[in-house]
Amino acid sequence: MRPTIWRLTTFILLMLTMSFSLALAQDNAPGADGLGDSLYPQSGNGGYDVQHYTLDLSYDPESKIIAGSATLEAVATQPLSAFNLDFVGFTITELTVNEVATSFERNGGELVISLPADAALAADEQFTVMIAYNGEPATIAAAGLPIGGFTPFEEGVFTASQPVGSAGWYPVNDHPLDKASYTFRITVPEPYSVAANGLPQEPTDNGDTRTFVFEATEPMASYLTTVNIAEFREERQEGPDGLPIINYFPTDFTERQVRAFARQPEILALFTELFGPYPFETAGAIVVDVQLGVALETQTRPIYGADSSQAEVIVVHELAHQWFGDSVSVTDWKDIWLNEGFASYAELLWVEHIDGADALAEQAKQKYEEGVIGVLATLPKDAFIGSQLGAIVGESDAILSESEVESLLRAFGGSQLSDEQINTALADIPADGLPAADLVAIFEALPIEDVTLTFRNVAQLLETLELNTMLQASGLLSFSPTAPAVVTAENMFNQGVYQRGALTLHALRLRVGDDDFFTILRQYYETYRDSNATTEDFIRIAEQVSGQELDALFLAWLYDENPPDLPEAGLFAADYGI
């Protein structure tokens, strides 16, 4: 009897164990291979939250090879049987999860890590991933930005990774939704030095090489990481409340070349007063000796090219991003105006601080023309006909109807032309249409002195003249202003995002008044500091603080295709032929 009972008991226990294990296995699932971002759906990965990255890397300027390891400390947000990291290129020589060698495969830009059944991760379980790798980094240029990731140049290396370039130089959950702290431990040969995010530690002298360590302790989105290798000189300033401002400049740059950074303490003090406490433990700048064409708000220490480092307004813009873009980051890249519109409006706040309300009004008008109307230039009529229109019509065989000509006259003439003057210009158009070349005579006869060229009217002219190939090649479709909250991956950095985004805030300020406006900015920052926000989050706070229903204002400025008027500032789209 007893052996039989023992066997039965053992069988029951075995079945229960198998059932429990099967239930666990069924609960475990792979993490998502993307976070479903509107513009970059494969950016980032699901199933875990990285807490800290340690990048222990060496760089050889001769071979352009990176070698070393990335260690990720993370927490599972679901039971995991597998998970992905974003990682492009390189040879992986070792990969462990919790110090156990683990299988993996590469699928394009996805590094897929599969966990053994007995090593699956439970929800809320902490785990560590170590990846040793080597090879030449990949430069990942996103659709709307011509640079991305780890980029060697003659004097060294810079990294500018917006929006998805970080995966080209380290394994990462590459989306702003997963912020983490960082340790950078970078070894380079003499005489190179390193500039990165966060606070620098004393470098270690290894003989022929030196190891530079930077600690970035506050949460940081992956695209905001930067490691720069060159010969730098370090210069320090002191910001509000003793904030260490540490700048890295090329050793041969003159004071004239970097004087745009002289007022960083004052800029940071102003924004601390207007927005709230500076979010990080250090600030500063990195200037690389290359014509970069852009600056990037890399966290704590923006990166500037030799061209972008000489304009104080760019320094203002990038420092404002430390609050809006870096500390408060987008939840989805479609809301990029929350970064760029806010930093662009900060430019106006700095102008107002330095030169007063009249200067603010003038700058607002300029932003309206550039980012709402899309003004490219204002030319004397004769110069426009001789240098622009004459050359364009010569490429076209189109025959224009009277309505098409009228539309072009209104587009280029704007409020300068009355209905009577337009009718006079149209009077002699043949019934069977106007040859494109004859547009020159029509414009010569117009009683106007200047012609305002905009993205919109130039694109309309090219399309009307059936020069669509020229229109595509011009790049106008990528850079012409759109409604700030209606963007694609290809045009997410267009002028509307920056300037119309800024004027959205100005329109809000004029509606609710200064007291409520700056309370809105401070409350928005305080609520979403070190986190992520959406356009809806900002609108909700604006309405709560002001006590006003603001849907119509935000709909017009953020979503409507047609440029809105700003009557409080005397700005009307119709004055520009729109």
Token couple for 214? 């930077």
Element (H, E) at 246: strand 244-250
CA distances from 460 to 408, 438, 454 (A): 8, 17, 10
CA distances from 175 to 40, 63, 215 (A): 9, 30, 21
Q: How confident is the model at residue 310 (pLDDT cuts 50, 70, 90)?
A: confident
Q: Which amino acid is at 184?
A: F
Question: What is the sign of the dihedral through the CA atoms of 273, 276, 280 and 281?
Answer: positive
CATH no. for residue 511? Answer: 1.10.390.10
The pLDDT assigned to 13 comes to 43
Between residues 22 and 225, the one the model is more confident about: 225
Residues 414-455 have pLDDT tens digits of 888 899 999 998 998 999 999 999 999 999 999 998 898 888
The pLDDT assigned to 224 comes to 97
Residue with tokens 């609050």: 323
Lowest mean pLDDT of 139-143, 153-157, 362-366, name the range: 139-143
- Domain extent for 90: 27-230
Q: How confident is the model at residue 161 (pLDDT cuts 50, 70, 90)?
A: very high
Task: Compute CA 389 distance to the chain's CA centroid, rounded to the nearest angstrom.
Answer: 35
If you average pLDDT over residues 91-97, what whole number do you get? Answer: 98
Instruction: Note whether 155 and 169 are same-domain residues.
Output: yes
C-alpha–C-alpha distance, residues 525 and 545, integer Å: 13
Q: Which amino acid is at 195?
A: A
| Residue 71 placed within a domain | yes
The pLDDT assigned to 189 comes to 97
Task: From 374, 325, 317, 322, select the one nearest 349 (Cα to Cα).
Answer: 317
Question: Is the predicted pLDDT of residue 309 greater than 80, yes or no?
Answer: no
Average pLDDT in the chain: 92
Instruction: Note whether 568 and 534 are same-domain residues.
Output: yes
C-alpha–C-alpha distance, residues 540 and 549, integer Å: 10
C-alpha–C-alpha distance, residues 173 and 219, integer Å: 13
- Return the percentage of the chain with pLDDT > 70, whole number: 94
Element (H, E) at 415: none
The pLDDT assigned to 139 comes to 83
| Residue 259 placed within a domain | no
The pLDDT assigned to 428 comes to 83
Instruction: Note whether 432 and 520 are same-domain residues.
Output: no
Instruction: Note whether 557 and 571 are same-domain residues.
Output: yes
Between residues 471 and 519, the one the model is more confident about: 519
Instruction: Note whether 184 and 42 are same-domain residues.
Output: yes
Task: From 121, 31, 26, 27, select the one nearest 83 (Cα to Cα).
Answer: 31
| Residue 251 placed within a domain | no
If you average pLDDT over residues 375-388, what whole number do you get? Answer: 88
The pLDDT assigned to 145 comes to 66
Lowest mean pLDDT of 134-143, 211-220, 284-293, 367-376, name the range: 134-143
C-alpha–C-alpha distance, residues 137 and 150, integer Å: 6
CATH no. for residue 34? Answer: 2.60.40.1730
The total number of structural domains in the chain stands at 3
Task: From 161, 159, 156, select the one nearest 142 (Cα to Cα).
Answer: 161
237: phi > 0 → left, psi -120 to 50 → alpha, else beta; which?
beta
| Residue 184 placed within a domain | yes
In sequence order, what are the beta bridge partners of 105? 112
Q: How confident is the model at residue 20 (pLDDT cuts 50, 70, 90)?
A: very low
Question: Is the predicted pLDDT of residue 233 greater than 60, yes or no?
Answer: yes
Instruction: Note whether 185 and 162 are same-domain residues.
Output: yes
The pLDDT assigned to 10 comes to 45
Q: Which amino acid is at 233?
A: R
Residues 96-151 have pLDDT tens digits of 999 999 999 999 899 999 999 999 999 999 999 999 999 999 888 776 665 678 99
Question: Is the predicted pLDDT of residue 78 greater than 90, yes or no?
Answer: yes
Query: What count of Cα atoms within 13 Å lies in the side-chain half-sphere of residue 117?
Result: 7
Question: Is the predicted pLDDT of residue 490 greater than 50, yes or no?
Answer: yes
Question: Is the predicted pLDDT of residue 386 greater than 90, yes or no?
Answer: no
Residues 21-74 have pLDDT tens digits of 444 444 789 999 999 999 999 999 999 999 999 999 999 999 999 999 999 999
| Residue 236 placed within a domain | no
CA distances from 344 to 128, 402, 517 (A): 40, 41, 16
CA distances from 577 to 22, 416, 423, 446, 476 (A): 69, 9, 16, 15, 18
Instruction: Note whether 143 and 43 are same-domain residues.
Output: yes
H-type alpha helices, 379-431: 381-384, 390-393, 402-413, 419-426
The pLDDT assigned to 146 comes to 59
Instruction: Note whether 64 and 121 are same-domain residues.
Output: yes
| Residue 411 placed within a domain | yes
pTM (2 d.p.):
0.90
Residues 525-556 have pLDDT tens digits of 999 999 999 999 999 999 999 999 999 999 99
CA distances from 395 to 114, 215, 494, 515 (A): 59, 58, 28, 55
C-alpha–C-alpha distance, residues 375 and 564, integer Å: 15
Lowest mean pLDDT of 20-34, 67-81, 164-178, 392-406, name the range: 20-34
Q: At CA 172, angle to CA 169 and CA 173, rounded to 5?
A: 145
| Residue 533 placed within a domain | yes
| Residue 247 placed within a domain | no
C-alpha–C-alpha distance, residues 528 and 542, integer Å: 14
**Cβ-contact 238, 277 below 8 angstroms:** no
